[in-house]
Amino acid sequence: MKTLDHVDVTGKRVFVRVDFNVPLDKKDGRVADDARMKAVLPTLRKIMDQGGKAVLASHLGRPKGKVVPEMSLAPVARHLSDMLGRDVPLAPDCIGPQVHAMVQALPAGGVLLLENLRFHPEEEKNDPGFSKELASLADVYVNDAFAVSHRAHASVHGITQHVAVCAAGYQLAKEVAYFKKSVEAPERPLAVVIGGAKVSTKIGVLQNLIPRVDLLVIGGAMANTFLKAQGFRVGKSLVEDDLLATANELLQLAKDRGVRVLLPIDVVVAPALESGSQAKTVGVDAVPEDAGIFDVGDRTLHAVKEALQGCATIVWNGPLGAFETPPFEKGTFALAAFLGDSKALTVIGGGDSASAVKKAGAAQKVSYVSTGGGAFLEMMEGKMLPGIEALKACMGKE
């Protein structure tokens, strides 16, 4: 895709869709985690250094088309000012005469942050009129918000139909490049570790990936459905009984394709998912009727590490257990630490997995941590992302 390196932005208004949907501290309202903001700094600095006028657009929270003061981007503007070492004013809205005036008054190298896009219901509806109004603020459109590129929203999709020049920001281009290196054209053997709560959210992912991978590791609560489908009793564990047949079909697909599948062989069980709960490790054939499965056991971890040891590429999406609740974090954190020390290309996708590698202190050691949970998952399903397809279409008309 065309990136900023292929576009001259000197003196031009550059509308940049960023993902500044960051957590705010409940006590003082300040930005609590600026990882998503740091991710787009290379794009912003390139525009500033070239003398472009950066007009930044983002959403924050879910205001559902209404003005919610608590979801104003004001704290983000203040934090970005500190990060860039220059004043970043916040526009009172994202469209309208006053916003136009502020954009026109921007000096070369200046930065303006528009107010929350989702204060307008037209944003999520991909309204043509709203898209055109946003586009009126731009000479160049840049998408550097991979995390929302699976949404056909006005600032992601519709706007590209009204701007002559479009480009991918550096962060979005990096996301696509790592996905290609890890899933579409990987160095083999390729292993994918899939976890999380439900099979229902990962059926498309598994159907798309099984023909592509050499090794599939299934963990998290979704593994319970596969275990039950194979005849194991799983006690009070979370199970999707309506997907037992689907689980067996997926296992058969893997067998037909010659894909090795690893399911838990021992698990950590407890009467309830509570911190300090009386947990113990048992084989998958010995889960008590009055207990639930909340993590993988040591024998499973050993088998997983041994299998992954010989892989050249490893993709991980979804935790192996309920890592937010001690003592059920061991499996997930152990996997994160292992991937951090691995010599393979290690790509982490999904909000929970990204959180886990960060908490385990391995985020700086793995090859790449995706900034987009839902977007990464949809790419793993083989779906086309509206934001990326819109960029390609826009580039094609130039």
CA atoms within a 13 Å half-sphere pointing along the CA-CB vector of 1: 27
Structural contact between residues 40 and 88, judged by C-beta atoms closer than 8 angstroms: no
The answer to whether residues 370 and 146 touch, using CB atoms and an 8 Å cutoff, is yes
* Beta strand ranges found along 309-367 (DSSP E): 313-317, 345-348
Q: Check if 158 is active-site.
A: no
62 catalytic per annotation: no
Task: Summarize pLDDT for 210-247 with one digit per residue, the tens.
Answer: 999 999 999 999 999 999 999 999 999 999 999 999 99
If asked whether residues 155 and 192 sit together in one domain, one would say no
Query: Domain span at residue 47?
Result: 4-168+385-396
Residues 128-174: tens digit of each pLDDT: 999 999 999 999 999 999 999 999 999 999 999 999 999 999 999 99
In this structure, the answer to whether residues 350 and 244 fall within a common structural domain is: yes
Place 121 in a pLDDT band, splitting at 50, 70 and 90.
Answer: very high
Residue 377 placed within a domain: no
Give the burial class of 106: count Cβ atoms within 10 A of its Cβ; 0-12 exposed, 13-18 middle, 19 or more buried.
middle
Q: Look at the block and give the residue holding tokens 């974090």.
A: 329
Residue 158 CB: number of other CB atoms within 10 A?
24
Domains: count for the chain: 2
Active-site annotation holder among 198, 260, 299, 392: 198
From 51, 61, 65, 374, the catalytic residue: 374
Residue 218 is predicted with a pLDDT of 97
The answer to whether residues 149 and 201 belong to one domain is no
Based on the fold, state whether residues 317 and 214 are members of the same structural domain.
yes
For the chain, the straight-line distance linking the first and the last C-alpha, in angstroms and rounded, comes to 13
- What share of the chain has pLDDT > 90, as a percent? 88
**Residue of 51, 109, 204, 351 marked active site:** 351
Within-domain flag for 51: yes
Q: Is residue 371 part of a domain?
A: no
In this structure, the answer to whether residues 330 and 346 fall within a common structural domain is: yes
Of the candidates 36, 118, 174, 228, the residue annotated as catalytic is 36
Q: C-alpha dihedral over 221, 223, 227, 229, to 10 degrees? A: 100
Decide if 397 is catalytic.
no
Collect all residues with Cβ–Cβ distance below 8 Å to 59 and sequence separation of at least 6.
Answer: 21, 116, 117, 118, 123, 148
Distance of CA 262 to the CA centre of its chain: 25
- Residues 184-216 pLDDT 10s: 999 999 999 999 888 898 999 999 999 999 999
Three-state SS for 87?
coil
- Environment class of residue 238 by beta-carbon count within 10 Å: exposed (0-12), middle (13-18) or buried (19+)? middle
Q: Which letter does DSSP use for residue 320 in this model?
A: S
For residue 395, count other CB atoms closer than 10 A to its CB.
16
Active-site residue flag, 219: no
On whether both 285 and 341 belong to a single domain, the answer is yes
What is the domain-level CATH number for residue 351? 3.40.50.1260
Q: How many Cβ atoms from other residues are within 10 Å of residue 318's Cβ?
A: 26
Q: 264 lies in a domain?
A: yes
Task: Determine the Cα–Cα distance for residues 140 and 11; give it in Å rounded to an integer.
Answer: 11
40 lies in the same domain as 12: yes
Q: What is the mean pLDDT of the chain?
A: 95
